[in-house]
Amino acid sequence: ASFGHFLPPTVIEAFPRGAINMHPSLLPRYRGANPIQHALLNGDAVTGVSVIEVHPTRFDAGALLLREEVGVDPDDTYA
């Protein structure tokens, strides 16, 4: 689900090590909304998950902490 709002800096700063976000794509590809659908529509053979630091003023733009690739089966759908 897309959150669509920035966390207030006071919320991010409340965590001594910062806040993290899990994004369902191999960032920076398909940054933003609907990354799974875009991967399927474009016929990608591989997609994945990225764990990033929450950036206070930009969506899906924090430091990359972890990426895990996942294969896409040709029969996969977003149903």
Condensed to tens digits (0 to 9), the pLDDT of residues 12-63 reads 999 999 899 999 999 999 988 889 999 999 999 999 999 999 988 888 888 9
Catalytic residue among 2, 42, 50, 76: 50
The values of phi and psi at residue 64, to 5°, are -75, 125
Q: Residue 63 has which token pair?
A: 């430091």
Contact 27, 60 (CB under 8 A): yes
Give the SS3 label for residue 45: coil
Spatial separation of the C-alpha atoms in residues 10 and 60, rounded to whole Å = 19
| Active-site residue, 50 included | yes
Q: Residue 31 has which token pair?
A: 């940054």
Catalytic residue among 5, 60, 73, 75: 60
Q: Residue 78 has which token pair?
A: 């977003």
- Which pLDDT value is given to residue 2? 62
Whether the pLDDT of residue 1 is over 80: the answer is: no
| Active-site residue, 55 included | no
- Which pLDDT value is given to residue 60? 86
* Helix (H), strand (E) at residue 70: strand 64-71
